[in-house]
Amino acid sequence: MTVLLQQDPSTAIGRLLQSQGVPGAEPIGAALSFALAFVAVYFAGRLVALPLLDRVLDSRGLEAHARKPLKKIAGVLIVFVAVAVAFGFAKFGNFLQALATVAAAATLAVGFAMQDVIANFVAGIFIFTDRPFRIGDWIEWDDNSGIVEDISFRVTRVRTFDNELLTVPNSQLTDGVIKNPVAKNKLRLKVPFGIGYGDDIHRATDIIVEEAEKHGGILDNPEPSVRLTELGDSSVVLQSRIWIGNPSRADFVKTRGEYVTAVKERFDAEGIDIPYPNRALSGTIDVAGLDRLANPADD
């Protein structure tokens, strides 16, 4: 028994099995050696490498959207190292050489089949390095909008405001324009108000500013402002510009709704009209055959 353990482990296990009369002992010994080496290296890597990686990421101050893919890559590397070590331990040959041979044979076929996957993978890398948005951000692109729930190397998952989950290929988010209203710590809202041509513009402006200053969710700095932006067909348009802090979709909808309601109630109380478009139709209608109706022919 001592002599067997001093030999190569896979050979020792095979000969030990042979001594017990087990058929096909050599292949079974090699397989057991591979499994034992893989399990040992894999769990050692999980117990040592991953906690070490967590400490490094903590020291770097990386956020959740950057931690997840890096930990996935670390897990893949641990499996790769475990397989390589187990390959050598079981005397299956040079793992890297075998892997290179298989990879060279499969490169052409896989390359054609995975063009979109590779494009999305590269786009995912750009998302992690450029950080146009993060998990929890509200983003808008094309005709879609929602809250980012997860970012991977291939797709990004976005929860819409109707509670629908969109799985978006990363290349769609890097090839076009992405709007991130919450990337900064405050957001400006533009709210138009239409008043009648006979109403007092200065009084309406004062009301709009006063209601903005009263609202607790609207910032005092930068202060609210109002500009006359349009002389419409039926109204004079005053555009209010207000700022909110720590914006999110819920804050945006709630603040805007409360603000517009307060201004409308002040306008009503002070007799300022909010007109709506009117259309006047004019012209004549010619009806053929009236003479025949007035003087019907005898039967």
Per-domain residue ranges of the chain: 2-113, 130-175, 186-269
Q: Please give the pLDDT value at position 26.
A: 56
Quick check: 163 pLDDT over 70? yes
Is 130-175 assigned to CATH 3.30.470.20? no
Higher pLDDT, 93 or 20: 93
Quick check: 14 pLDDT over 80? no
Asked if domains 130-175 and 186-269 share a fold, the reply is no
Q: Please give the pLDDT value at position 5.
A: 43
Task: Tell me the Ramachandran region of residue 97: left when phi exceeds 0, alpha when psi lies from -120 to 50, beta otherwise.
Answer: alpha
6 pLDDT band, cuts 50/70/90, is very low
Quick check: 25 pLDDT over 60? no
Tens-digit pLDDT profile for residues 27-78 = 666 677 778 878 888 888 888 877 887 787 777 666 666 667 777 777 778 8
Q: Please give the pLDDT value at position 66.
A: 64
Mean pLDDT of 73-101: 69
pTM: 0.53
Least confident piece of the model among 165-169, 244-248, 260-264 = 244-248
Sheet of strand 155-159, all strands in order from the earlier edge strand to the far edge: 138-141, 144-151, 155-159, 165-169
Q: Please give the pLDDT value at position 157.
A: 92
Q: Please give the pLDDT value at position 241.
A: 94
Quick check: 282 pLDDT over 70? no
Would you say 222 and 243 are in contact if contact means Cβ atoms under 8 Å apart? yes
Closest listed residue to residue 133, CA positions, set 181, 62, 188, 185 = 181
What would the CATH number be for the domain defined by 186-269? 3.30.70.100
295 pLDDT band, cuts 50/70/90, is low
Residue with the two structure tokens 């959207």: 65
Tens-digit pLDDT profile for residues 173-224 = 888 888 888 777 788 889 999 998 889 999 999 999 999 999 988 998 889 9
Would you say 140 and 181 are in contact if contact means Cβ atoms under 8 Å apart? yes
**What percent of the chain is predicted at pLDDT more than 70?**
69
